[in-house]
Structures are given as structure tokens and as C-alpha cells.
Amino acid sequence: MPPTTRRALFNVLDAAVKALEDTGVPFVVGGGLAAEAYQLRETINDIDLFVRPVDAPRALEGLARHGFYVWIEDPHWLYKALKDRITVDIIYESTGIVHVGDETFERARWMDIDHTRLPIMPPEDLFVMKAAAATPSAPKHWLDAVSLLASQPMDWEYLAFRAARNPRKILQAIVHAYQDGVPVPSFVFVRLAQDLIK
């Protein structure tokens, strides 16, 4: 169920962050809150926290100790926690595309969300996840992906590396942004086209 207010969302975010910090689990904020941090849109839905695969069980245990109701939604990529009717997703792989690893944490951008400075998923990772997750029934992901390319400086080498596991959907989003005037280095098109025929 969605939160009744943004204040409730941020209160649960604070509690989840404290739980992970107390447990010593590194994380980055992804999903709608990351989109909000990059000033794409506001969110009142859920909270997506990305952790390393090895840390996911500890993250769930830490949330449970801090009063969250927790369960394993899918042992391959998604754990969940609930507090005050707000869901916290603990994710370590997104739609089979981005495996959360050292690069994600090293490249995280520290940004303010509700007056709290937090590590936000790098825009390249977020772009790849959003483009891969976009469907006709979830167009917000497509809009977020294209808007990220238009508004954020990108490490194109890293983005191409991240896109290799699903080059078709990523290339579609990049071509769309390019047609809208976003400058894209030519090697990105070449790299993704090569990935398509592998």
C-alpha cells in the first residue's frame, strides 16, 4: 500500500537508513527516490535500497531488529521490509541487468533527500535499470531514463559497459534521447550494436 504522505515516506527512509548503518551494510538509494534526487520527479511510492548480494541477508536482519516486518520476496534478487504501511525493497540485482557491485558504490553520488545526505545510485546504473524496466504499462521508467541522459553528465564508457547485458532496450532509449538532441558519443552506438550481434 502506498504511504499516506511524503513525510511518512521520509520517516521510514530515515529508519531504514539507520538500520543499515547500524548493521554496517553499505547501500545506495535507487528507484523513485533516486529519480527525485536527480530532480526528475517526486515519488510517494516505496523505497528502493540497493546492496551487495553478500550483504542482503544482513540488511534484512538489521531491518528486522529495528522493527520492520521482513520477508524474502525472491531469493535471486529481492528482499522486502514493511513499516508504517511503507515498503522498503532491498535489491541486489535489477531485472537481471545490473548486478550491484563495487562500481555502483564507488560511483554513488552523495545528494540531499529531505535534508539528509545519502548515497544515490550513479546515473549510469539508474539509466540502464530504468531503460530495461520500461514497458507500455510503466512508461515512467522510459521517461526517467531519457531525462537522465538529458540532465546528467554521463560516463559513457561505464554506461556502455553496464548496458552490455541488454543492449537492445538500452540502445532504443539512447537513440530516442539522441533524436531529442542529447549528444551521445559515436562509440556508444558502435559498442551497443556490437553487443546486439554477439
Segments making up each domain of the chain, as ranges: 1-121, 123-198
**Eight-state DSSP code of residue 53:** G
How does 168-191 read in b/e, with b if 16+ C-beta sit within 10 Å? ebbbebbeebeeeebeeeeebeeb
Sequence-distant (6+) residues with CB within 8 A of 73 are 79, 80, 89
pTM value is 0.88
Digit-by-digit pLDDT tens for the chain (198 residues) are 554 688 889 999 999 999 999 999 999 999 889 989 999 887 767 899 999 989 999 999 999 999 999 999 998 889 999 999 999 999 987 655 667 778 899 999 999 988 889 999 999 999 998 888 877 776 778 888 889 999 999 999 999 998 888 888 889 889 988 998 999 999 999 999 888 887
- What's the grid cell of residue 52? 551487495
CATH class for the region spanning 1-121: alpha beta
- Phi-psi category of residue 85: left, alpha or beta, with phi > 0 → left and psi -120 to 50 → alpha: left
The Cα–Cα gap between 69 and 176 comes to 41
